Amino acid sequence: MTFPLFSVGFISIMGQVILLRELNVALYGVELIYILAMAVWLLWSAVGAMIGPRFQVPEKSTVGWVFAAFATVFCLDVLFIRYFRNLAGAFAGTYLPFPVQLAALGIALLPAGLLMGLLFQWSGKILVAQGGRLARAYGIESIGGVVGGGGATLFFFAGIQNLAAAWICAGVAAMTWTGLCFSGVRRLAMGAMTLSLFTAGFFFIPSMDLATTRWNHPDVVATRDSPYGRLTLTRQSDQFALFENDVLSFETQSVDAESLVHLAALSLARIDAAAVLGGGMEGLLFELIRHYPPAIDYVEIDPALIDLLRQHLPGDWTAVLDHPSVRVVQDDPRRFLETAGLYDLILIGMPQPDSGAGNRFYTREFFRLSRQHLQPGGILAFRMRAGENVWSPATALRNASVWQALKAEYPHAVALPGASVIVIASLDPIPSEPEELISRLEKRRIRTRLVSPPYIRYLFTNDRFRETAQILKTAQVVPNTDAHPISYYYSVLIWLSKFFPALIHIHPAEPGGAAVPVFLILAVIAIGWRLRRNRRLHDIFWMAVAGFVGMVLETLVLLYYQAGEGILYQNMGCLIMAFMAGLWAGARIISHLSTGRRRTIPIGAIVFVVIGLVGAMLFGMIITHMRVGLLSSALLLFFTGAAVAGIFVVTGSGDMAKQQRAASEIYAADLAGGCLGAVAGSLWLVPFLGILPTAAAMVGVSLTAVVLIRA
């Protein structure tokens, strides 16, 4: 059963990545979609692991037909997700009701998640019945997950689109079916037929990709997947619109770029060097060139975006990329700034702090970095989304958290009101009278559709100018930082308030409070002590605790890595591979230690010590501002995975009957704990408390487990 277990891990991780990308496009919002989808996947897998009698061992052919069922329903899942907005009667650019989104998540992930849990349970039981150990089954599945995670990443970088990756995933499941259900000549014949069918299918994938995209975008010109998201370009007459993960990024007839560029550029008497961090193709570059700076560095994180627009937009729109003063740099803007020179003007055109990826460009650490690369008198400028006339409480607090972070590094700043607030900051005084900007506009002879002398006077003299400044200055909120991404938390509230309006008035407590960590520790102590005499429930509970802590620590590592490096989507596969490799190593090592004379060693306590050490190391790295790179993050995830697998081995060891039961109960507890950790860690603990207190809470829970768990 080695290859079937390997296939379970492979298609599980690759299938998760594929379905998460599809769901993020279909149900666009903040990263809440990813989190909820991961939690729902784990939940359905846990249910699948509990299906059927605990001690019944299925036939191999039965497992094979489940693989065949997965291959079929997985392809249908992808098509269902792409067509769901039509089923719900939604239009592009509109939000589905939250209950409808939850229904979509539940329906789309039910078949695949349920079958994954069932496949591991049955394959593990067969391996145990053949004389193997459940820990070995867990390790083999983990190795499959390593290959599946790496394959998903390599596919994207190789230019293989998500629909093609889904076809490959289904093909692996189908080939496993032929290996389990047939033998001899029939296996060769069925294998050849299956392989030929899936090979032929690749010729239809590009046209199918465009056709299914047209379900939501009838005017689609081109669509492309990249490691950062799905890009869809549409055209109506002379207007082109770019959607990133189905959210409108820009359209070619908008005037949004004018306000940011001209109001910032007119605050400077002269511009010798400028940097545009993202957003150049939405018009920022075109407007900035009109001020004739000799040197412009345009930094774009997603090279696929530039390639797509060069191929399909009119030449007069993309000509800015070939302008003599423009240097195009394909890099993460934050990493680029670390080695960049000095600029008179830095324009931030990155997405709003609605996600962990966008939030890192609006923290105190980023503002400190940008300050170090400004010439004396230089200007930093960016936009914050707001209401034209009235701000909700959550919107005010979100923008104020960014403002407070900015003011901690820039003594001089102004906020110009509008549907998007234009923020201009400098280390030196900024022109506060509109006439100075108007004079420069006239001298430079720049004609625009929006920014004009009356418009500039209006911005500086209307009542909202003073009201905006008062709101940002007096709001009781902590600064937005890498370690405490409070702005991201408010973005989640704002997004949820579209469906539950009462949430818009929630004001979270100050971060760093001890109530939540203490409550978690006391709850673990109470339940663990209560279950100490029931060995079966005792093992299930501590496996769930390990799954919960492991998932929260994984979330902390990923978020902190994203804050520092900004290439989480690019390297997600590598980090998942490190975690899955840890699962394999932990299962193998702890299984060896759990046999023979070493049975008396308190292995469970030792493994929870390892989990606590991972949390303590992360806590120390953050508090000392140590940079967490790819290698250090991978090592932290490796040891986290190894520790979780170690608890699985400890709680699932025993005679054949107990191991077969553990294939259902302990595996389900692992998944259920991970499900709860994904939701609680990402939507409550991290945004509400911050990364540091959450890491401290996980250390406390681990130390509690060290005392109470029985090896």
The per-residue DSSP string of 362-419 comes to: SSHHHHHHHHTTEEEEEEEEEEEE--SS---HHHHHHHHHHHHHHHTT-SEEEEE-SS
Give all strands (DSSP E) within 602-654, no chain letters.
Answer: none
Q: Which CATH architecture has domain 509-711?
A: Up-down Bundle (1.20)
Contacts for 109 with CB less than 8 Å, ≥ 6 apart: 19, 37, 40, 41, 44, 77
What CA–CA distance (Å, rounded) separates 238 from 246? 20
Q: What residue spans of 132-237 are helical by DSSP H? A: 134-157, 162-181, 184-201, 205-213
Cβ–Cβ contacts within 10 Å for residue 647, how many? 32
Going from N- to C-terminal start, the domains of the chain cover: 1-213, 249-481, 509-711
Distance of CA 331 to the CA centre of its chain: 19
Mention every residue, 6+ apart, whose C-beta is less than 8 A from residue 60.
1, 4, 126, 180, 181
For the chain, state the CA radius of gyration: 27
Nearest-angstrom CA–CA distance, 579 and 642:
8
Q: Quick one: CA dihedral 604, 605, 608, 613, positive or negative? A: negative
Distance CA 424, CA 538 (A): 58
| 664 within 8 A of 50, measured Cβ to Cβ | yes
* C-alpha 289: how far from chain center: 34
Distance CA 208, CA 392 (A): 43
Q: Of 392, 381, 307, 318, give the one whose Cα is nearest residue 350.
A: 381
How distant, in Å, are the alpha carbons of 520, 578, 692 from that of 435?
Answer: 58, 58, 47
- CB of 309 within 8 A of CB of 298? no
Return left, alpha or beta for 251; rule: phi > 0 is left, psi -120 to 50 is alpha, else beta: beta
Fold of 249-481: Rossmann fold (3.40.50)
* Strands of the sheet with 220-226, listed across from one edge: 220-226, 229-236, 239-244, 247-251
Instruction: Label residues 662-688 b or e (16+ Cβ within 10 Å = b).
Output: bbbbbbbbbbbbbbbbbbbbbbebbbb
Dihedral of the alpha carbons of 674, 360, 288, 448, in degrees to the nearest 10 = 70
Cβ count near 572 (within 10 Å): 19
C-alpha–C-alpha distance, residues 660 and 122, integer Å: 9
Please give the Cα distance from 100 to 556 (Å, whole number): 29
Same fold, 1-213 and 509-711: yes
CA angle 295, 299, 301 (to 5 degrees): 170
**What are the structure tokens assigned to 367, written together?**
């503002």
Nearest residue to 264 (alpha-carbon basis) of 235, 238, 293, 237: 293
Q: Alpha-carbon distance 396 to 325, whole Å?
A: 38
pLDDT tens digits along 671-683: 888 888 888 887 6
pLDDT at 53: 67
- φ, ψ of residue 646 in degrees (nearest 5): -60, -40
Measured at the CA of 151, the angle between CA 565 and CA 243, to 5 degrees, comes to 60
Cα–Cα dist 350/280, whole Å: 10
Q: Distances in Å between the alpha carbon of 479 and those of 117, 403, 621?
A: 43, 8, 20
**CA dist., res. 282 & res. 295, Å (int):** 19
Q: How far is CA 321 from CA 254, 258, 280, 453, in A?
A: 19, 18, 9, 29
Phi and psi at residue 294, to the nearest 5°: -65, -30
- 71, 264, 407 from 430: Cα distances, Å: 62, 10, 14
| Backbone phi, psi, residue 596, to 5° | 65, -145
Strand partners, 418: none
Q: Which two tokens stand for residue 392?
A: 């909700």
Residue corresponding to tokens 């932990």: 586
- State the amino acid at position 401 in one-letter form: S
As averages over each run of 10 residues, the pLDDT of the chain (711 residues) reads: 86 88 77 74 85 74 91 93 85 71 86 90 83 80 85 78 92 91 86 87 90 92 84 90 85 87 93 93 92 94 88 88 93 89 95 79 94 95 84 86 95 90 94 89 89 90 88 88 79 71 59 65 86 83 91 85 65 77 84 58 84 91 78 91 87 69 77 86 72 86 86 52
Neighbours of 392 (CB within 10 A): 17
Kindly report the CA angle at 541 between 539 and 547, in degrees rounded to 5? 105
Gap between the Cα atoms of 276 and 348, Å rounded: 6
CA 2 – CA 675 distance, rounded (Å): 27
- Positive or negative, the CA dihedral 102, 104, 109, 110 is positive
Q: How far apart are CA 379 and CA 259, in angstroms?
A: 15
Quote the distance between the C-alpha of residue 372 and its chain's center: 29
Looking at residue 694, what is its pLDDT?
Answer: 86
Find out whether 117 and 47 touch, Cβ atoms under 8 Å: yes
Mutual orientation of helices 630-652 and 603-623 as an angle, nearest 10°?
160
Q: Return the SS3 of 358.
A: helix
Residue of 498, 592, 364 whose CA lies nearest to 96 = 498
Contact 651, 544 (CB under 8 A): no
Indicate the CATH number of 1-213 among 1.10.3470, 1.20.1740, 1.20.1250, 2.60.40.
Answer: 1.20.1250
Question: CA 583, CA 145: separation in Å to the nearest integer?
Answer: 10
For position 598, what pLDDT does the model report?
47
Please calculate the CA angle 544-550-554 and round it to the nearest 5 degrees: 145
Of residues 361, 295, 357, 360, the one with CA closest to residue 328 = 295
Select from 683, 536, 524, 684 the least CA-distant residue to 612. 524
Residue 708 in tokens: 């109470």
Which residue, chain included where needed, has tokens 């400098």?
426
